[in-house]
Amino acid sequence: MGEIVGAGLISHAPTIMFDEPTRRELNEGKEISLVPGLVRLRDEVLDALRPDTIVVLDTHWFTTVEHVVSAHDHREGKMTSSELPRGMCQVPYAYDGDPDLARLIEKHGNEHGTPTTAIDDPYLPVYYATVNLVHYLHRGEKFVSVSIVQTGDDDDFLTLGKAIGDAVAASDRRVVVLASGGMSHTFHRLKALPDHEASDPKHIVTPEARAADEERVAWMEAGDHARVIDGMDAYHPHSPEGGFGHYLAMAAAIGGRDCTAPGRRFSDYENATGTGQVHVWFDRPEGGWTA
């Protein structure tokens, strides 16, 4: 029987892929906390857990009529972001996939009534919400990406997460689930962007969005996943990235409203051109996710 051995809400903000001098230039001479946070997460957590597979809920992979799961044996190439081709240009990636787990997610998703398809088309694009995390976190683990269906409601993402949890349990894998995305996600307008590139959260697009993000980070740190899930109607007006489907699916995979695993921050809560970014990690409690 497989198990989810750890999970996290992890930022893939484009600035993590800039070189350090550029990051410091954009951030008033200081390093952004997201980069050392990823290094610590790899060295202090993933090296100890030694997962077989990392499942990435990818908020840059939008699908329309179904959840899609990458089912490739191997993925390798270079990625240039169509959104930010100067900052993320020809980024190399090479990792094995886990087609057996992908097909289990497909099976359980459809059994739970949410349309889910595993795809192994070699021309299927890879997005930077996956590639940026591979760059920092991959040390031989298999990687599976899962799309965020743009027509989905909160319950669709919760059902997807339940399917992921059931699929892992039906496997023999040790799995980490990463919700790859930000929190509130509205950018400053083009002319104003240069004035809001530093990581200080005073640059979040509105004080209300910052307050909503910080409230939810506090709930996560307290292990109050039920409150985050139940508070989505109040959060949606702040346009969380991917409808916060990445967090909802991750949370549902580890027990949903019944999960009380407290979060550990591996970064500050930071700004990225108006959007809220943070790394929050959830250790599996000794007695299980819903203990």
Burial 8-40 (b: 16+ CB within 10 A, else e): bbbbbbbbbbbeeeebeebbeeeebbbbebbee
Residue 108, token pair as written in the block = 């359980």
Which amino acid belongs to residue 127? Y
Mean pLDDT over 108-135 rounds to 98
Mean pLDDT over 70-99 rounds to 97
Residue 5, token pair as written in the block = 């051995």
Q: What angle do CA 123, 176, 163 make, to 5 degrees?
A: 75
Domain boundaries, the chain: 3-283
Q: What is the pTM of this model?
A: 0.98
CA 118/CA 150 separation, integer angstroms: 17
Residue 269: per-residue pLDDT: 98
Asked whether 144 and 126 are in contact (CB, 8 A), the reply is no
Residue 1, token pair as written in the block = 């029987």
Q: How many helical (H) and strand (E) elements, i.e. helices and strands, does the chain have? A: 10, 12
In CATH terms, 3-283 corresponds, of 3.40.830.10, 3.10.580.10, 3.40.190.10, 3.90.1580.10, to: 3.40.830.10
Percentage of the chain modeled with pLDDT above 70? 100
Residue 291: per-residue pLDDT: 75
Residue 103: per-residue pLDDT: 98
Mean pLDDT over 158-180 rounds to 98
| Average pLDDT across the chain, whole number | 97
Residue 38: per-residue pLDDT: 98
pLDDT grade for 151, boundaries at 50, 70 and 90: very high
pLDDT tens for 4-38 read 999 999 999 999 999 999 999 999 999 999 999 99
pLDDT tens for 37-46 read 999 999 999 9
Residue 288: phi and psi, rounded to 5, are 110, 165
To the nearest 10°, the Cα dihedral for 60, 80, 32, 178? Answer: 40
Mean pLDDT over 114-134 rounds to 98
pLDDT grade for 286, boundaries at 50, 70 and 90: very high
Q: Quick check: 243 pLDDT over 90?
A: yes
pLDDT grade for 131, boundaries at 50, 70 and 90: very high
Which residues neighbour 228 within 8 Å (Cβ) at sequence distance 6 or greater? Answer: 216, 219, 220, 247, 251
